[in-house]
Amino acid sequence: MIEIQALTKVFGTLKAVDDLNLSIPKGQTVGFLGPNGAGKTTTIRVMTNMLTATSGSVLLNGLDVAVDPKHALGSVGIVVETPEFYPYLTSIEVLAFLGSLRGLSPSEIKSRSEEVLRLVKLDGRMGTRIGEYSRGMKQRLAIAQAVLHEPEILILDEPTAGLDPRGMVEVREILLGLKKEGYTIFMSSHLLPEVQEVCDSAALVNRGKLLAYDSIESLGKKVKNARIEVTTFSDISPSVVESVKMLPGVQATDLVNPRAIVVTIEDSPSARANLLSSIQGAGAEVTGFQPLDLPLETIYMDLVKESR
C-alpha cells in the first residue's frame, strides 16, 4: 500500500531523511514519531510530491509518486501541517474545487461535502469564507477534504497541531472512526499518547534515520525501565527511601516532595509488586502507585537518547 524505499533527502549539507525504508500494509494505522527536525515533515512532503527525493522512491498503491504523481496521489488524502486554503472561497467551494480535481461528479461533491463537513463539525459554517476561519477550523476542513474522495490512503502531518484540547479530542475521535472504516493511515505526530491511542504501529525516526518500526504492543514490550510515582498519606521517612533503593531492579529514586517518590525500576510485574509490598512493609501508607510514562514514551525517549 505504502512503500518507502531507501529514501534520502538532502538540503545542502543537511541530510533530512537518511536511507529510510518503510512498508505500510493496507488497513494499518501507522504513527510516524520523532522529535522536531527528525525528518517527519520532509518525508511526508516527499511522499506527497511537494519535495523531490535526492534518492530512493515512494510507492503509493504501487505507483511511484515522482514518476506519476497524478495517479499515485489519486487515491490519497493528505492533511498538511498547518493547512491553508484560498481565503476567498467558502468551505463548500474548497471541497467542490478539490473534489472536481479528483474526479468527483457534481452530485457526489454535493452529497460527500455535506457528509464530510458534518463529520468534522463544520456543517454550520458551509457558507463562511475561509478567510474568516480559525486555525482549528482550517485543520478540520483539511481532514474533510482529505477524506472527501474516499481515498484508500490518508497521509496526515501533525493532524492535531494547533488545536485546543477539545479540538484535539474531536480530531482523535474522527481518526479512530476513519481507522474503523478501513483507511490506511500514516500520520506524523510528536504527541505520543495520541499515537498510542490511534495507531496500530509506530515508526520512530531521529535525524532522518529509522530507529524502530513495530506494533505498539511490541514496542511496549521493549521497554526496559519504568518510572513509577508512589504517593503516601504521611511523609516518607529516610528509612523507606533507603529500603526502596536496596530493592532488586531499582535504578534510581527521586523524592519529589515529602509525600511522593518517583522510582525508576526494571519494568516487570514482579518488580512492581515487590516495590509496592516493600514500601507498605516499611510502614508507609500508599495512596497512589502509577507509572509516569506510557510505554511508547519510554521507548521513544530511550531510542532518541541512544541515537544521539
Partner 1 sequence: MTENVLSQRRLPSDLLQTFIVWEYESLKHLRSYRFLGSIAITFAVVMLVYLGPILTGDGYDGVETAAFASNFVQFSRVLIIICATLFGADAIVGEFQNRTGHTVLSSAVRRTYVYAGKFIASAILGLFVVITFYASVGILSWLTIGGVDDNFTVSFAYAVGLLLATIAVTYLISTVMKSTTGAAVLSFFLLILVLPVVDMMVSYAGVRPEGSLTFSAGVVEHVLADPYPVDTTVSMHGMTVNQFIPDPALAAVVFLMYGVLTLTMGVLLFRRRQLSA
Nearest distance, CB of residue 93 and partner 1, angstroms? 8
3-state secondary structure of 122: coil
Residue 61 or residue 298: which is nearer to partner 1 going by CB? 61
Residue carrying C-alpha cell 520512530: 204
Would you give the DSSP letter of residue 134? -
Binding-site ranges for partner 1 (CB under 8 A): 11, 45, 48-52, 69-71, 73-76, 78, 80, 82-86, 88-89, 93, 97-98, 100-104, 142, 145, 149-152, 181-183
Residue 105 or residue 218: which is nearer to partner 1 going by CB? 105
CB neighbour list of residue 303: distance below 8 Å, 6 or more residues apart:
204, 206, 211, 212
Residue 148 or residue 211: which is nearer to partner 1 going by CB? 148
Residue 52 or residue 268: which is nearer to partner 1 going by CB? 52
Residue 112 or residue 272: which is nearer to partner 1 going by CB? 112
CA distance 98 to 155: 16
| Joined grid coordinates for residue 105 | 461528479
Nearest distance, CB of residue 196 and partner 1, angstroms? 24
Closest CA to 222 of 191, 267, 271: 267
Nearest distance, CB of residue 57 and partner 1, angstroms? 17
34 within 8 A of 190, measured Cβ to Cβ: yes
Nearest distance, CB of residue 100 and partner 1, angstroms? 5
For 239-271, give one letter per residue: b (16+ CB within 10 A) or e: ebbebbeebebbeebeeeeebebebbbbbeeeb
Nearest distance, CB of residue 86 and partner 1, angstroms? 6
Helices and strands counted in the chain (H then E): 11, 14
Residue 128 or residue 278: which is nearer to partner 1 going by CB? 128
Nearest distance, CB of residue 286 and partner 1, angstroms? 48
Residue 151 or residue 208: which is nearer to partner 1 going by CB? 151
47 within 8 A of 58, measured Cβ to Cβ: yes
Nearest distance, CB of residue 260 and partner 1, angstroms? 45
| CA distances from residue 96 to 150, 155, 283 in whole angstroms, order as listed | 14, 21, 69
**Angle (nearest 5°) at CA 13 between 12 and 15:** 100
Nearest distance, CB of residue 31 and partner 1, angstroms? 20
Residue 88 or residue 306: which is nearer to partner 1 going by CB? 88
